[in-house]
Amino acid sequence: DVVMTQSPLSLPVTLGQPASISCRSSQSLVHSDGNTYLNWFQQRPGQSPRRLIYKVSNRDSGVPDRFSGSGSGTDFTLRISRVEAEDVGVYYCMQGAHWPLTFGGGTKVEIK
């Protein structure tokens, strides 16, 4: 199985400051069809996960442009350009290049 490793585990951030979350996979997430299947999800307290980013860098509809995704191969990053109070929650990466689908352990974003 592809192991997804996120860091840091916890990320205290000052409002208005940037934040960055790393996700590394144990195998390349480049599929034979040429696409790289790496998603990012946000889970606010008490809510279901919500997808923010698909295929590394594509923002879902309605997702603020302060969220961006980048990376390639086995190394990926989610960036929040200026953290707002509503961004508090746990962020997960997920790979969809190989069965079984696997998730990172999560990064908890909190306000300092």
Partner 1 sequence: EVQLVESGGGLLQPGGSLRLSCEASGFTFSIYAMSWVRQTPGKGLEWVSSTSDSGGSTYYADSVKGRFTVSRDNSKNTLYLQMNSLRVEDTALYYCAKGRWLRDIDYWGQGTLVTVSS
- Residues at the contact surface with partner 1, assessed by CB under 8 A: 37, 39, 41, 48-51, 54, 60, 92, 94, 96-97, 99-103, 105-106
Q: How far is the CB of 43 from partner 1 (least distance, A)?
A: 9
Residue whose CB is less far from partner 1, 41 or 83 = 41
Cβ atoms of 38 and 56 closer than 8 Å: yes
User: Which of residues 20 and 102 has its CB atom nearest to partner 1 in the complex?
Assistant: 102
CA 51/CA 43 separation, integer angstroms: 9
CA 32 vs. chain centroid, Å, equals 22
Q: Closest distance between partner 1 and the C-beta of residue 107, in Å?
A: 11
Q: 106, 94, 101, 111: which is closest to 43 by C-alpha?
A: 106
To partner 1, the closest distance from the beta carbon of 59 in angstroms equals 12
Specify whether the CB–CB gap between 81 and 64 falls below 8 A: no
